[in-house]
Amino acid sequence: MASQFEILLSWNIDRSWALFLDRDGVINRRIMGGYVIIPDEFEFLPGVFTALKTAAKLFNRIIVVTNQQGVGKGLMTEKQLQEVHDFMLEKIKEAGGRIDKIYVSTHLEAENNPMRKPNPGMAFQAKKDFPDIVLSKSIMVGDTEKDMIFARNAKMKAVFIGNPLEIELPRQLYDVFYPSLKDFMDDVKSVIQK
């Protein structure tokens, strides 16, 4: 069986590729059973700044795709969500990284809106906004089964953050898995330099 490194090598990643990132659990600490409502509750995960600084040099586009049904539930406003994202973008930029655009679905899960992951609407919207994005040359990094199904629905590579065995994630849903975004980016950097 091919190692994770060999799998990444076989993708032939180059500067034309796009990186799609989930937010909670990949960029910042997920609040279990709750939502990040104010910037003070937004806690970057270890190594994220380094990872995004590396990603900024290696990827053509870096896109965040996030479900935030806390807005749909009335637990937070669009304005509060925007303040959290402004804070996130500012800190990433200060650290030498970048995010080209954030796509958000505030729809309730029950609505099954095409823009809400695992539906691929946000990926298609990103492709429309950035015609240079090729979904088959895009990588989705996420920490839930929904993220992995989103990747498959959009025909992207799927990178799981965390231990797939812990959530009994079916093997066909992801290509590789890493403990963190930084660990994944370290391997991508090595692969591109090969």
Q: Which amino acid is at 106?
A: T
Q: Quick check: is 129 catalytic? A: no
Is residue 186 annotated as part of the catalytic site, yes or no?
no
CA-based max dimension of the chain = 49
39 token code pair: 């910037």
Write down the catalytic residue from 14, 24, 40, 86. 24
Catalytic residue selected from 22, 143, 147, 175: 22
Q: How far is the C-alpha of 159 from the C-alpha of 21, rounded, in Å?
A: 10
Percent helix, strand, coil in the chain, to 5, is 45, 15, 40
Query: Residue 92: left (phi > 0), alpha (psi -120 to 50), or beta?
Result: alpha
> 166: which 2 tokens?
């812990």
Between CA 78 and CA 80, with CA 79 as vertex, the angle to 5 degrees is 90
C-alpha distance from residue 25 to each of 10, 30, 41, 133, 147 (Å): 27, 5, 13, 24, 11
**Active-site residues: which are they?**
22, 24
